[in-house]
Amino acid sequence: MDPQAAGAVSVAAPNRPTREPVGAPVFELRDATVRYGSFTAVKGVGMDIPRNEITALIGPSGCGKSTLLRSLNRMNDLIAGASVDGKIMYNGEDIYAPDVDPVEVRRRIGMVFQKPNPFPKSIFDNVAFGPRLNGYKGDMGDLVEESLRKAFLWDEVKDKLKESGFSLSGGQQQRLCIARAIAVDPDVILMDEPCSALDPIATLKIEDLMREMKDEYTIVIVTHNMQQAARVSDMTAFLTVDIDDEVGERTGALVEFDTTATIFAGAHDKRTEDYISGRFG
């Protein structure tokens, strides 16, 4: 989605109380820097992401939101030339330490992408795929049902579990992808613009689902839609692009990280305020 369009809105402060973060943060980022080859995409990010909250990453195109999100479950490892410096701690452990298995990291920290991407398999097999791969020993039927229920999809698909995942609408496919992520019992779910390919009704369903899910999971979402960030998130990180004219490099940087209420009603930094009010973006 064109961030300019998303930037040109005025967003009222969400008038619901933001809960105080409970317990130790799930992620602690210290001077986190992500590069593609010699290009620094995002630099020096420090933030603590609280448990059982929804944290939104917002900012103009190219500021490194998706890059930062992917660094939280080592998804960037799959991109040739990508590297991470600084510390990204998950539940107190450095996920980039040499003895850490990135596959296990991605099982604990699942991901839902912009475009719904069901496998070319039945609805049932889409959800059962991950648990089967992990050697799940319990009752697969129960697990598939439970995952689909948690993704608010069970009632719509319970009579056609053998049909292809592609037979579903875009919004249903995205909820199927969420069910697939849930089925492997993750702790965190990362969502990269999960609603950008969906209509407003399907979008609101996913937002309702996210609110419901946060009792059990920690969610980090990248969104271009500031109304969505204001509606759904508890915490918001605003990133910007620092431009070095001399070398012509554009590097993403974190400007502010605070409760969503503060970011949208009383941001401390003028760049955040300007972006949120649509003056730049």
Ligand X SMILES: Nc1ncnc2c1ncn2[C@@H]1O[C@H](COP(=O)(O)OP(=O)(O)OP(=O)(O)O)[C@@H](O)[C@H]1O
- Where along the sequence are the contacts to ligand X (CB under 6 A)? 3, 36, 41, 59, 61-67, 79, 250, 252
- Smallest gap from residue 66 Cβ to ligand X (A): 3
Q: Which is nearer to ligand X, 21 or 44 (CB)?
A: 44
Q: Which is nearer to ligand X, 40 or 126 (CB)?
A: 40
- Smallest gap from residue 252 Cβ to ligand X (A): 6
Please report the DSSP string for the chain in residue order. --HHHHHS---PPP-SPPPPP-SS-SEEEEEEEEEETTEEEEEEEEEEEPTTSEEEEE-STTSSHHHHHHHTTTGGGGSTTEEEEEEEEETTEETTSTT--HHHHHHHEEEE-SS----SSBHHHHHHHHHHHTT--S-HHHHHHHHHHHTT-HHHHTT-TTSBGGGS-HHHHHHHHHHHHHHT--SEEEEESTTTTS-HHHHHHHHHHHHHHTTT-EEEEE-S-HHHHHHH-SEEEEEEEEEETTTTEEEEEEEEEEEHHHHHHH-SSHHHHHHHTTS--
- Smallest gap from residue 30 Cβ to ligand X (A): 19
Q: Which is nearer to ligand X, 70 or 231 (CB)?
A: 70
- Smallest gap from residue 169 Cβ to ligand X (A): 24
Q: Which is nearer to ligand X, 81 or 266 (CB)?
A: 81
